[in-house]
């Protein structure tokens, strides 16, 4: 009973406190509206007693003027379309860098690392193409080259001087001096004379000589590779054999004198042809095997038989012709000749094969 009285008193006090709070805050409660009191049982004593003082008014919620959005059918979730697998693109090599743009009219600089065509692939010196400036050409089946440039290719130390007055080129290299005159039928290498069948030639203002003769002067070896159509030159030691090793004094003595006696007034090629006849006989088993013995044979050279030949003093061209013959010069027009004469009614006509005529002499095989 005491507990019930205490609860009633507490409810009354609470009512008084609520009424005082309403007066202070100016809370007006309209008379024409019903108040709904909600009973809250803080102690969980529902159904045991009813105390209006613990009832709290329930304020209806304010109406919302906004209209709710109509419900829409949910949009089904769409799965992204799967793209078909594609073959991977092949990897491409990056394009070469074209480099900086050039101004109009400028020429690109040459790449020193790029291969350059700087030689004659058909003319090799120690396996390396000879410079194009060697000017290799073919003249009547003979390979000619520019003297100065080819000498420089055979020896880096070679130097060439040109004398316009005499049209003579002089090449100097260690241990070697070469002189070549335009239109001459030989070149001089140190104290030796090397025959040039078709002569030293001028081509486009450059002096040219046969490659065979020039390689001989430089003591180099010359070969022809027919399978590859290539000329191959192998450098030697550059030391040309001296004249005394080639021109035997006794042979030179008799050969120069018989040339002078028989053809001293003939052109150089005619004098060389007479010398060829003498050496052809030395090489032929039907004749003696030395120059003097060939001259001493019966009924051959009367100047030797009467002793006058030994007293003759040969002119310069006869000595030159003798040296050329001893150094291997051969006049191709009468190669192999064993006889010669100057008579119009020669005994050899119809008896020996005629090979040709040079100067005032006919030559027979």
Per-residue confidence of the chain (365 residues) as pLDDT tens digits? 555 556 656 666 566 665 554 444 444 444 444 444 444 444 444 444 444 454 454 445 555 554 555 455 554 455 555 555 555 554 555 555 555 454 444 444 555 555 565 799 999 999 999 999 999 999 999 999 999 999 999 999 999 999 999 999 999 999 999 999 999 999 999 999 999 999 999 999 999 999 999 999 999 999 999 899 999 999 987 778 889 889 999 999 999 999 999 999 999 999 999 999 999 999 999 999 999 999 999 989 999 999 999 999 999 999 999 999 999 999 999 999 999 998 888 888 889 999 999 999 999 99
318 phi, psi to nearest 5 deg: -70, -40
The single-letter DSSP state of residue 185 is: S
List the domains of the chain with CATH numbers. 120-239 (3.30.457.10), 247-364 (1.10.10.2520)
The single-letter DSSP state of residue 40 is: -
**Residue 28 corresponds to which tokens in the numbers above?**
């007006």
294 phi, psi to nearest 5 deg: -65, -45
- Residues 6 or more apart whose CB falls under 8 angstroms from that of 277 comprise 337, 338, 339, 340, 363
Burial 57-89 (b: 16+ CB within 10 A, else e): eeeeeeeeeeeeeeeeeeeeeeeeeeeeeeeee
């Amino acid at each position: 009973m005491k507990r019930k009285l205490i609860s009633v008193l507490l409810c009354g006090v609470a009512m008084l406190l609520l009424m005082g709070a309403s007066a202070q805050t100016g809370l007006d409660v309209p008379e024409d509206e019903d108040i709904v009191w909600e009973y809250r049982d803080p102690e969980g004593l529902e159904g045991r007693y009813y105390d209006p003082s613990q009832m709290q008014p329930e304020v209806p919620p304010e109406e919302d003027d906004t209209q709710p959005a109509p419900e829409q059918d949910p949009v089904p979730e769409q799965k992204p379309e799967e793209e078909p697998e594609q073959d991977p693109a092949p990897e491409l090599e990056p394009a070469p860098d074209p480099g900086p743009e050039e101004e109009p009219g400028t020429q690109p600089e040459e790449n020193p690392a790029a291969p350059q065509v700087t030689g004659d692939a058909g003319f090799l010196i120690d396996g390396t193409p000879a410079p194009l400036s060697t000017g290799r050409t073919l003249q009547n089946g003979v390979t000619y080259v520019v003297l100065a440039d080819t000498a420089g290719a055979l020896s880096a130390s070679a130097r060439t001087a040109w004398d316009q007055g005499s049209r003579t080129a002089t090449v100097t290299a260690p241990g070697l001096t070469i002189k070549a005159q335009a239109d001459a039928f030989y070149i001089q290498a140190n104290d030796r004379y090397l025959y040039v069948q078709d002569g030293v030639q001028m081509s486009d203002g450059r002096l040219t000589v046969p490659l065979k003769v020039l390689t001989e002067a430089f003591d180099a070896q010359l070969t022809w590779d027919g399978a590859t159509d290539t000329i191959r030159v192998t450098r030697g030691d550059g030391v040309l054999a001296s004249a005394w090793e080639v021109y035997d004094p006794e042979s030179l003595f008799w050969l120069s004198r018989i040339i002078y006696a028989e053809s001293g007034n003939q052109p150089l090629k005619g004098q060389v042809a007479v010398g060829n006849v003498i050496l052809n006989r030395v090489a032929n088993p039907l004749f003696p095997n030395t120059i003097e013995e060939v001259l001493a044979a019966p009924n051959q050279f009367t100047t030797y038989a009467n002793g006058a030949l030994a007293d003759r003093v040969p002119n310069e061209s006869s000595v030159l012709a003798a040296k050329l013959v001893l150094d291997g010069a051969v006049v191709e027009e009468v190669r192999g000749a064993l006889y010669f004469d100057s008579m119009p009614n020669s005994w050899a006509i119809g008896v020996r094969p005629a090979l040709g005529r040079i100067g005032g002499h006919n030559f027979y095989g």
